Amino acid sequence: MAETTPAATDVLEPGGGAPAAPTLRIDARDDRVVATLDRPERRNAIDQVMVDELHALCSELEERPRTLILAGAGGIFAAGADIAQLRERTGDDARRGINATVFSRIRHLPMPVIAAVDGYALGGGAELAYAADIRIGTPRVRFGNPEPGLGIIAAAGAAWRLPEIVGHARANELLLTTRVIDADEALAWGLLSSVHEPDALLAAAHAIVDRVAANSVRATILTKRALLAPRAEHPAIDGELQAELFDSADKRARMTAFLERKKK
């Protein structure tokens, strides 16, 4: 049965004040976890508390792999990083890669990550979506990276993940002009895989997870590992990953069941 719990223990506000309210709503199930960004008063802006809770969630999913659905509350995915916090960060903070580190951890989770994007996904919110394996959205989607207008760059993954997704020419345009694109353009560019009405978005994400769940968990994990491997490691890594699966009881059972179905 699904259970809704915070992703991490309460975090004290700077200066030892009262515990900060959780920023993620977690619906944990046997084969999937839905994590909803939930700071409606800040348009789900990504702050340090949310970063910490995302790290805690990653720890759980690294230990017990399940497919992750990322969503945003209130018709917004995430309007960016928390500018009030970002304004106070220093060069040393930039070198620590606060958002980049947690987004990379999300990207490298063992099982697939699906971003169910509604409304604005801007700045750090867009970069969180770029870290997912699959992105779906609604007609209200707006993607953009306004960082140069704020005197910074999109340094949490956009500079290398966005070109991989949409190609260098389109990524150059978005990152250098800070233009915001809508759902139609995002779909045409391959940034979104599909578009659904807002009230059907989460169901569409769950349908994708259902397809993933029907497959071998280990084969899914190794497929993602192959997809993330550098080009120079192919085809050698594919052979090594396949060798593990070829010797597995799960492969034999699944192929035997397939052949039995064909006989009927």
* pLDDT, tens only, 204-235: 999 999 999 999 999 999 999 999 999 999 99
Q: Are residues 129 and 243 in the same domain?
A: no
Question: Cα(129)–Cα(69) distance, rounded to whole angstroms?
Answer: 11
- Greater confidence (51 vs 11) lies with 51
Q: Are residues 194 and 221 in the same domain?
A: no
Mean pLDDT of 4-16: 35
Examine the pLDDT at 6 and tell me if it is beyond 90.
no
Q: What is the pLDDT of residue 16?
A: 45
Question: Cα(234)–Cα(30) distance, rounded to whole angstroms?
Answer: 33
Q: Are residues 73 and 157 in the same domain?
A: yes
* pLDDT, tens only, 29-61: 999 999 999 999 999 999 999 999 999 999 999
Looking up residue 197, the CATH number of its domain turns out to be: 3.90.226.10
Task: Report in angstroms the alpha-carbon separations of 15 from 19, 131, 239.
Answer: 11, 32, 53
Q: Are residues 125 and 188 in the same domain?
A: yes
Full domain range(s) for residue 223: 217-263
**Which residue of the set 63, 147, 173, 260 is catalytic?**
147
Q: Are residues 167 and 230 in the same domain?
A: no
Q: Are residues 125 and 55 in the same domain?
A: yes
- Specify the number of domains making up the chain: 2
| Cis amide bond preceding 14, omega within 30 | no
**Which residue of the set 53, 127, 173, 197 is catalytic?**
127
Q: Are residues 121 and 150 in the same domain?
A: yes
Question: Cα(144)–Cα(148) distance, rounded to whole angstroms?
Answer: 11
Q: What is the pLDDT of residue 18?
A: 54
Written as one letter, the residue type at 162 is L
Is 53 an annotated catalytic residue? no
Is 127 an annotated catalytic residue? yes
Q: Are residues 54 and 166 in the same domain?
A: yes
How does residue 19 score in pLDDT terms, banded at 50, 70 and 90? low
